[in-house]
Structure 1
């Protein structure tokens, strides 16, 4: 077993190990012994670093939202804030497809494996710093759309909450296999849904449709 005296390094090693196991084997693989073995640490290291498995999973959720936020921030502000929002939605989808179990965990979804559902879903939280930052990234982008006069909303946070619900609802359904009958669910479901949403928020439909052509699919 490896000895890591530095607490932040030990915590980081355990979080990375848990994410690898989650990605490769799903939530049934997340147990104290399997995570510590993957990290080449003792079981005691887990308890000294996080107080137990629930504490570790809360840290994994925090890291998951940080990674999602990093992906969304790859969309740099352009002259078309609606296109930017569409591109961020597509990037969220890519993140979910690349990390389905981690996505389920951070949003408290149990769709792919209920065996460990209660433990893992209980780790999801809207109180973590990374969640707040990822939501702020969306809200700031929404503020730009409002300030540009494209849409109407009391605030970027209000618009972001609605858009967040739309995008993650779509992603959950797609990951659950509910759009298997569509040749291209992004073009046939997500983008038309997003255009209808933006039109409902006051955007001109032709402008929204034009913005989709600038989306980084």
Structure 2
């Protein structure tokens, strides 16, 4: 007999496949049972219902997103480390568009019910397990400030600015406005980020050197 944890994991993975293939509106107990070879009753047995299952899928999505941002080698160049984190952020969104929309989109099916005002609280989420990815960005912002690369306007609001330009550019790229050949990265997001860092006090040539280092680390 399969362990409860194995069945839960199987159903979460099945739900992620449905989400990415068909969208969040396609998630139903019947469709999940067909996807995983279980029964509709299993949804209620292991999760209590579709709401709790979708929450479990969202939690797993945030865990994977957080790993993508935090599994970045820390070097003596915090701007390069930030650039690597940004590349990973963009790649996660492009590789997992439905999950990204579920996490940060503006539709009724997104997780906006868990949002918080980062300008007031210092974090954009009211759930601790959703805060970790933003905390990683705040940490690298602090390192850039401490290294004298950018001015200190406050860690969380600076992180919010960097997140805003990345999120906006990624959403437009996902929608096809920048093509499908990485020009959204090379001609939009990277120059935009460089301009912001320079505007916050860094030297343009030094920023570009850091981005070259980051690109070399990414292969």
TM value normalised by structure 1: 0.85
Q: Quick check: 74-83 or 122-131, which moved more?
A: 122-131
Which residue in 1 is equivalent to 2:41? 44
Contact 1:63 1:130 in 2 (8 A): no
Q: Higher relative contact order at CA 8 Å, sep ≥6: structure 1 or structure 2?
A: 1
Question: Compared with structure 1, are the counterparts of its residues 11 and 124 closer, same or farther at alpha carbon in structure 2 (3 Å cutoff)?
Answer: farther
Distance (whole Å) between structure 2 residues aligned to residue 95 and residue 70 of structure 1 = 10
Contact 1:58 1:124 in 2 (8 A): no
Unmatched 5+ stretches in structure 1: 111-117
The size of the alignment, in residue pairs, is 206
Distance (whole Å) between structure 2 residues aligned to residue 177 and residue 154 of structure 1 = 33
Unmatched 5+ stretches in structure 2: 115-124
Question: Compared with structure 1, are the counterparts of its residues 34 and 183 closer, same or farther at alpha carbon in structure 2 (3 Å cutoff)?
Answer: closer
Distance (whole Å) between structure 1 residues aligned to residue 57 and residue 15 of structure 2 = 7
Residue 10 (structure 1) aligned with residue 15 (structure 2):
no
Q: Tell me how far 1:55 sits from its aligned partner.
A: 1.8
Which residue in 1 is equivalent to 2:210? 211
Cα displacement string for residues 58-91 of structure 1 (whole angstroms, at most 9, x for unaligned residues): 2211111111111112321111111111111111
Q: Tell me how far 1:170 sits from its aligned partner.
A: 0.8
Q: Quick check: 150-159 or 14-23, which moved more?
A: 150-159
Secondary structure at the counterpart of residue 215 of structure 1: helix
Question: Compared with structure 1, are the counterparts of its residues 41 and 35 closer, same or farther at alpha carbon in structure 2 (3 Å cutoff)?
Answer: same
Q: How does 1:4-153 map to 2 (within 5 A)?
A: 4=2, 6=4, 8-110=5-107, 118=108, 120-122=109-111, 125=114, 126-153=125-152
Distance (whole Å) between structure 1 residues aligned to residue 105 and residue 113 of structure 2 = 5
Compute the RMSD of aligned alpha carbons: 2.2
Q: Tell me how far 1:202 sits from its aligned partner.
A: 1.6
Secondary structure at the counterpart of residue 46 of structure 1: helix
Contact 1:18 1:35 in 2 (8 A): yes
Distance (whole Å) between structure 1 residues aligned to residue 54 and residue 210 of structure 2 = 38
Secondary structure at the counterpart of residue 213 of structure 2: coil
